[in-house]
Structure 1
Amino acid sequence: MTRNETDWAALILDSHLRLLGRPLADLALEGQALLDWLRDDAPFCVLAHDASEDPCFVYANAATLRCFGFARDEFLGMPSRLSAEAPRREEREALLADVRRQGFSTGYRGLRIGKQGQRFWIEDVTVWNLIENGERVGQAATYRRITPAQL
């Protein structure tokens, strides 16, 4: 199935609620207004990748794009493994394997690299599976804290 940005956002919100038992955003918004808010105005990062062999980003809200320094069309479609430096990729892969087994994980901290080579920590990250019709079709993550890396 081909999904557009709105489809991915709805799946992100639905899967978060089902797996973690609470909404990603506790707002009075619903429908398209909630999806627009998540994409444009949410004060926290939300991103997702598909379930392909080499997962690629399929969703990134405005906060995520600012964090990584990419335009939407540059970020979407990029292999998600490229958001972590090579020495840290094993740690990241271990986290993703854990999420595949449990459905979600909380409290992750990882080093990431932006478009201009800037390094930063994403902290208190929650990662969860995106489930549609009982099948895992991707994974999403959210985080609110970013700290510049002092390397």
Structure 2
Amino acid sequence: MNLASFPWLEAEIIRHSLRLIKSYQHWTGKPLTGDAPSPAEIAHDLFHASFVLLSHGTETDPVLNYGNQPALDLWETTWPELTAMPSRLTAEPHERQSRTQLLHQAAQQHYIQNYQGIRISTTGRRFRISNAEIWDIWDEQEQKCGQAAKFSHWEWL
């Protein structure tokens, strides 16, 4: 079986999925997904959720480390390509400064909502996202290990 086709089956992605939902619950007081009986089923449900979900790590130039199926579809890419991409490349060059400022604001507040901005797929198609939420991801030792973004509203430009 090719795990690139089923990333939610990887132990690290299951662990990361749990971090995503726990951190979201912590910052918002709301669940990110419905209840599932096992961590693997939680990871599956998150990967196939009805909303777009992306995250990146804490590197100096953060690299995407998660994108669910709606994110892969929207950015017109594959799991291996997405998880090798610096997250800044999700925005056009002239949009990157405002994106960076937003991520700094999110890091200071740990959670922001109602963000909107222009993004670009790997094939060059532009789209506007709206009502996005951005939050800090914490690991099991309550150390920041990244940031995530979730949105359901977007339109092609």
| TM-score, L = length of structure 1 | 0.92
The aligned residue for residue 7 of structure 2 is none
Mapping of 1:1-151 within 5 angstroms?
4-25=12-33, 27-31=34-38, 32-39=40-47, 41-132=48-139, 133-149=141-157
**Cα distance, 1:30 vs. partner?**
3.5
Preserved contact between residue 54 and residue 67 of structure 2 (Cα < 8 Å): yes
Amino acid at match of 1:82: L
**Cα distance, 1:5 vs. partner?**
1.4
Percent identical among aligned pairs is: 28
Unaligned runs of 5+ in 2: 1-10
**Structure 1 vs Structure 2 CA RMSD:** 1.2
Provide Cα deviations, 1:21-60, integer angstroms capped at 9, x if missing partner: 11112x2324221211111x21111110000111000011
Number of residues of Structure 1 aligned to a counterpart in Structure 2:
145
